[in-house]
Structure 1
Amino acid sequence: MPNKLAEQTSPYLLQHADNPVDWWPWCPEAFAEAARRGVPVLLSVGYASCHWCHVMAHESFEDVVTAAYMNDHFVNIKVDREERPDVDSVYMDVTVALTGHGGWPMTVFLTPTAEPFFAGTYFPPRPRPGMGSFRQVLEAVVAAWQTRRAEIEESGADIARRLAEAAARGPVAGLAASPTSGVADELSPPLLDTAVAGLSARFDARHGGFGGAPKFPPSMVAEMLLRHAARTGDGHSLEMVALTCERMARGGMYDQLAGGFARYSVDATWTVPHFEKMLYDNAQLLRVYLHLWRATGSPLAQRVVRETAAFLLADLRTPQGGFASALDADAVPAGVPAAHAQPEEGASYSWTPAGLRAALGADDGAWAAEIFGVTAEGTFEHGTSVLQLPADPPDAARFAAVRAALAAARAGRPQPARDDKVVAAWNGLAIAALAEAGALLDEPAWIRAAEDAAVLLRDVHLVAGRLRRTSRDGRVGTNAGVLEDYGDVAEGLLTLHQVTGDPEWLTLAGELLEVVRARFAAPDGGFFDTADDAEALLRRPRDDSDSATPSGQAAVAGALLTYAALTGSAEHRSTAEATVARFAPLLSRDARFAGWAGAVAEALLAGPAEVAVVDSPALERLARLGTAPGAVVVTSGPLVAGRGAPGVYVCRDFVCELPVHTAEEVRRQLGVKVAT
């Protein structure tokens, strides 16, 4: 019999709708029930494509004995972290503070007033060295609650109080810019040089990336370094991006058959991925490789752009025109009888030499094993290997045929599940990437896909002038949009406006940014992650650091700056400056966690350039190929209004140089590198 999750829209919650656990969604009624029964709340947070979430669900939440114990002693709440990033943020801070680490699944025990008193991540069904079993944890919490409830409630209140105090101090307390301070004092060229030097010190010069295992794709840092290289001519910044992108694209983290990137590499060499494919990673990486190609003309970078765009459209696009959140890491291994079928991580993507021979025949199978690095010992689990491509094969035609045959064979295997909810922020990232890539690589179908996603966000996610976080099957969810939703969607719409010339997208982006300024503003010049009328949690979330996506603050700062460049609004530029200035201490300390803020700062220091193309279609694409950091390029709108003479006008703060009319002049003024 389904539990209380059966009517939810989240695929993750629906995965648990048939558990014997009597799950509740996050709602006031759940906490009221805990108060009525006098029991604690067990909060479990995860997401649909999370491998270890599936493992814990199978081991514990599907077990009727464990579920009965949970139902008897707790009110159990399931949260999709992708639907409720605010809830996830608050209780992840608690988990990290109490345990020293975080991750998903996240398990937090709360009082009926939502105050946390114990937390962890994955708990196994049986004890392991240094780790109790999930049942032991449950029993210990119940015993403590029954014998020391007053002490636990006092501890929970103290944790909540400390959390609120830490949030009030902020990660850069005492160092934030005043709302009126200029960027020159806070984010000077020497500061960004220091940030880049810090990144260089952490750079893996052999394998690319920053730090050791596990390695996540450094999308936002790469954008910062590309802009720094363009502004300063620093060759090492460009080299760090080029090496990292090449190693990622040639390693197992990149799908060598169908394009698209897995979420991260479990090792330092990009060999074995954590196999889920996330929309946010692929949207950002598509844009990084596009900008790398624009800066270098790299054929590999252009190939990755084309393949990743094809992956987005083929595997993540929804019937309503949006983009689904993710593909799962797990799939049922091929040939396993249905009665014994249990999904395994990477089952759809891993190969053996025998499997290659079966798909391709003896000769091509042996050749494929050599070029893709598939060995008898294996690079993954159980003697299997993840496909890599250390070098481009000399026989391009044979490679294309082998690749197509392996892709067809893989398509016949059981496939990973798809989390088909549409997240506003991540669709904003996809809109920006596809619109820009479509314009630069002359792929109008990509631009149309970006427009379709924008229409979905406008028609479904925008309710009474406010963004909703998610939708599924064209049905909008109830959760309010958070800061990153507004920032990333505005960024996507502003890019789409530049590419299409449609003024609607500029207007809508401006309206979203006005909501941000009215509803999310903080007293010190930055922004909170939730609106002033959002559900009150233990604290009002405000995360300055980038994670797998730009922080909401950095995303909004970038959109504000672009809007200012397109419209001439000094007010929007001033707000962008004050917001980015908050990141100066973090950029100086460790720019890995402030990559997008650094990219926006580079644009601020470069102008950014405002480029109006008037009646010069032959020069329009060339202008878009410029590497000037954060440049906007338009053929209509306020920048173009009143300019009668044809040509390309390069402006800063709406003060323009004389129009230019030749390709050579455009190349010089905008730093165009690639041949056309």
Structure 2
Amino acid sequence: MNRLASATSPYLLQHADNPVDWWEWGPEAFAEARRRDVPVLLSVGYAACHWCHVMAHESFEDQATADYLNAHYVSIKVDREERPDVDAVYMQATVATTGHGGWPMTCVLDHEGRPFFAGTYFPDQPRHGQPSFTQLLQAITEAWTERRDDVTSTALNITGHIAANANLAGSAPVDASVLDAAVARLGAEFDATHGGFGGAPKFPPSMLLEFLLRRVSTSATSSADELRIASATLEAMARGGIYDQLGGGFARYSVDARWVVPHFEKMLYDNALLLGAYTSWYAATGSHLARRIAVETADFMIRELGTAEGGFASALDADSEGAEGTFYVWTPDQLAEVLGPVDGAWAADLLTVTPAGTFEHGSSVLQLLTDPDDAERWTRVRTALLEARARRERPARDDKVVAAWNGLAIAALARAAGVVGESRFLDAAEAAGRLLRDRHLVDGRLRRVSRDGVVGQPAGVLEDYGCVADAFGALAEATADGTWLERAGELLDVALDQFAAGDGGFHDTAHDAEALIARPRDPSDNASPSGHSAITHALLRYAALTGSGRHRDAAEAALASIRQLAERAPRFTGWSLAAAQTALEGPLEIVVVTEPDDEIGQRMATRARAELGAVVLVVVPGQVLRSRIPLLHGRDLVEGRAAAYVCRGMVCERPVTDPDELLV
């Protein structure tokens, strides 16, 4: 076992028995490189990364390769999910020097941490025009020993490039014209045949869909295009192979443009965001498909990703039995073996399992392109297939708890609980909230990861503060418990003090965080929300619940700072656009005061919860008196009847007691 044996990261632990003498990121590794006068090899990946596993097997488990590394390098292994700050800086270098990025990421650094070489996967043998990993290492060693001046010059040039932040700040707000233009741009990039945007590979555009659906609900300038684009994409994903038709939950992306064959790893952040999108689709349309997918996705998260401590694990691997997708795919013969010839043939037709196959070795990824004609038969078939699949070797689980991604899960579950009427989702959200509150908050500051209830050392970054503060706000909204709101406010105070950039935007690391060769700052959304967009949502929710002008001003300044980015690249600002749509319309604030068994009050609650982007509290009269949430102050029954109080844009309407008068 090498130095990684004591790591908390499951990804690092996967490499603990490599013959490579790995170090964790830290000053000790760089001190050792100076002492030996060798460069630093930085390898960044994550536990569910298929090609990380391939490179590990080909090179890091190979004794000869390890011997060369150990003799000529100090090797550092980093989990990108545990240290997103390190990942962000060196990914910027990788993209700058190669034109693309991804994982595994392979960089070579000097003793100051400056990169002079960057790339991704390298094979163990020369292949497809690439040198082997060993050939690459030998060439870099030769440059380090024979041409040190060139190495230093290259390192300085790359570092200068990544240290120069683009100036996107501005004072103009993201107004209706920007949002209308974003919709037009998205419409032009929409794949009208298969749903989604662009071609292969195709990622779930969950944040953009949330923006489009909020437009349907709130914008005076919305058209049928927003709902058409969102509905077509959500249905295509729900029926395609990217969605697990047996067990629920979404894979990370589709390798094709038709959502048929996924990259099979399942990430917590994807499923949390998609739970939110399908909940919004159901709220906007009442679609039975939307509700089913929302419920199944929430149940998948709780069942497959839930941890003993109440949180949610990061991911499920793509691989099992040494190959990607083996756990999920079927052949017609396998279906017949489990179900018998008659039901097997029926299931093969229903789930698009063909003799030729849609995946490797004649197997097929399950799709459900039409609803079953016999629901009872489908339930029986699905149950039998799930039981048979459970006997297969399961993909590994990365069971570390990431604060930001748990925050996304909490907010999505809390909202889904009210919209679809499943209280167990709120129970799960509160349990995860307690874990973050009790374990991840240390001396008033947020830590990014924990595992088995033990919190790790990496400090929280901006996305952690934004997502967790918003989650605590969502719990306050769902439970009317003001203590959650107080915790949200404390996190936002730290964010405004430690992360603010001075131009309305935010840095991704705190002022007192470990100094890297550049301070990361990226307001664009990727597979998950940027820290910038996450903190904007949290600020808006907190301002709505408290009436705080300071937090509302901070949210508006944050939105103004990304106007140029939103105009240039709306596909990478979906979460900020959703926040801007909410800010432009108020946000809408609704309090429903009702007894649990009051039919009229519950009808008003259902109507209120269907408003996308609104802050909605549904409380009994006693909660109003006990709560410390300012939005609830002065709210009560009206002449003994259930009542709804609606405010928009800091202006309140008269309370209504008739569901038909709510939001007319």
TM class, shorter-length: over 0.9
Aligned residue for 2:202?
215
- Report whether the alignment pairs 1:194 with 2:203: no
1:154-203, Cα deviation, whole Å (9 max, x unpaired): 22122212221x22xx2xx2x5234xxxxxx4222111100110000000
1:116-165, Cα deviation, whole Å (9 max, x unpaired): 0011100011111221111111111111111101220222122212221x
Aligned residue for 1:468?
447
2:147 counterpart letter in structure 1:
R
3-state DSSP of counterpart to 1:633: strand
CA distance, structure 2, for counterparts of residue 644 and residue 228 of structure 1? 31
CA distance, structure 1, for counterparts of residue 657 and residue 401 of structure 2? 43
CA distance, structure 2, for counterparts of residue 606 and residue 100 of structure 1? 39
Q: Show the 5 A alignment for 1:169-318.
A: 170=166, 173=167, 175-178=168-171, 185-232=172-219, 233-318=222-307
Aligned residue for 1:69?
68
Over 3 Å counting, the alpha-carbon distance change for 1:628 and 1:312 in structure 2 is closer
Contact 1:110/1:118 (<8 A) preserved? yes
Contact 2:587/2:614 (<8 A) preserved? yes
Aligned residue for 2:557?
578
2:87 counterpart letter in structure 1:
D
Aligned residue for 1:565?
544
Aligned residue for 2:52?
53
Aligned residue for 1:528?
507
Aligned residue for 1:336?
none
Aligned residue for 1:542?
521
Say which of 469, 486, 510 aligns to 1:507: 486
CA distance, structure 1, for counterparts of residue 563 and residue 616 of structure 2? 24
Aligned residue for 1:656?
652
Over 3 Å counting, the alpha-carbon distance change for 1:200 and 1:491 in structure 2 is same
Contact 2:585/2:649 (<8 A) preserved? no
1:325-383, Cα deviation, whole Å (9 max, x unpaired): 00000001xxxxxxxxxx10001011111111111111111111111111111101111
Say which of 302, 315, 324 aligns to 2:313: 324
1:13-65, Cα deviation, whole Å (9 max, x unpaired): 00000000000000100000000000000000000000000010001100001
The CA deviation at 1:434 is: 0.9
CA distance, structure 1, for counterparts of residue 324 and residue 50 of structure 2? 7
Over 3 Å counting, the alpha-carbon distance change for 1:251 and 1:644 in structure 2 is closer
1:187 counterpart letter in structure 2:
V
The CA deviation at 1:238 is: 0.9
Contact 2:635/2:645 (<8 A) preserved? no
- Report whether the alignment pairs 1:551 with 2:508: no
- Report whether the alignment pairs 1:439 with 2:428: no
CA distance, structure 1, for counterparts of residue 154 and residue 44 of structure 2? 22
1:318 counterpart letter in structure 2:
T
1:627-665, Cα deviation, whole Å (9 max, x unpaired): 253434353421121234532111124431100111111
Contact 1:317/1:323 (<8 A) preserved? yes
| TM-score, structure 2 normalization | 0.96
Aligned residue for 2:149?
150
The CA deviation at 1:234 is: 1.9
CA distance, structure 1, for counterparts of residue 425 and residue 94 of structure 2? 41
2:304 counterpart letter in structure 1:
D
Q: Show the 5 A alignment for 1:399-414.
A: 399-414=378-393
Aligned residue for 1:496?
475
The CA deviation at 1:264 is: 0.2
Contact 1:614/1:640 (<8 A) preserved? no
CA distance, structure 2, for counterparts of residue 632 and residue 525 of structure 1? 28
1:359 counterpart letter in structure 2:
V
3-state DSSP of counterpart to 2:290: helix
3-state DSSP of counterpart to 1:527: coil
The CA deviation at 1:586 is: 1.8
Contact 2:586/2:650 (<8 A) preserved? no
CA distance, structure 2, for counterparts of residue 98 and residue 394 of structure 1? 54
The CA deviation at 1:235 is: 1.6
The CA deviation at 1:523 is: 1.6
CA distance, structure 1, for counterparts of residue 649 and residue 618 of structure 2? 15
Contact 2:545/2:615 (<8 A) preserved? no
CA distance, structure 1, for counterparts of residue 366 and residue 470 of structure 2? 35
| TM-score, structure 1 normalization | 0.94
CA distance, structure 1, for counterparts of residue 593 and residue 342 of structure 2? 57
Contact 1:606/1:628 (<8 A) preserved? no
1:356 counterpart letter in structure 2:
L
Contact 1:199/1:590 (<8 A) preserved? no
CA distance, structure 2, for counterparts of residue 360 and residue 144 of structure 1? 62
Aligned residue for 2:609?
625
Contact 1:440/1:624 (<8 A) preserved? no
CA distance, structure 1, for counterparts of residue 217 and residue 649 of structure 2? 20
Identity %: 59
Say which of 642, 648, 672 aligns to 2:634: 642
Give RMSD over aligned pairs: 1.2
Contact 1:440/1:621 (<8 A) preserved? no
Q: Show the 5 A alignment for 1:23-38.
A: 23-38=22-37
CA distance, structure 2, for counterparts of residue 40 and residue 428 of structure 1? 38
- Report whether the alignment pairs 1:123 with 2:122: yes
Contact 1:606/1:629 (<8 A) preserved? no
- Report whether the alignment pairs 1:486 with 2:486: no
CA distance, structure 2, for counterparts of residue 74 and residue 580 of structure 1? 44
Aligned residue for 2:160?
161
Number of matched pairs: 645
The CA deviation at 1:593 is: 0.1
Contact 2:433/2:472 (<8 A) preserved? yes
Contact 1:562/1:632 (<8 A) preserved? no
2:49 counterpart letter in structure 1:
C
3-state DSSP of counterpart to 1:77: strand
Q: Show the 5 A alignment for 1:134-145.
A: 134-145=133-144
The CA deviation at 1:207 is: 0.5
Contact 1:26/1:79 (<8 A) preserved? yes
Unmatched tracts of structure 1, length 5 or more: 179-184, 333-342, 670-676
The CA deviation at 1:106 is: 0.2
1:229 counterpart letter in structure 2:
V
3-state DSSP of counterpart to 1:96: helix
Range with greater deviation from structure 2 (221-230 or 646-655): 646-655
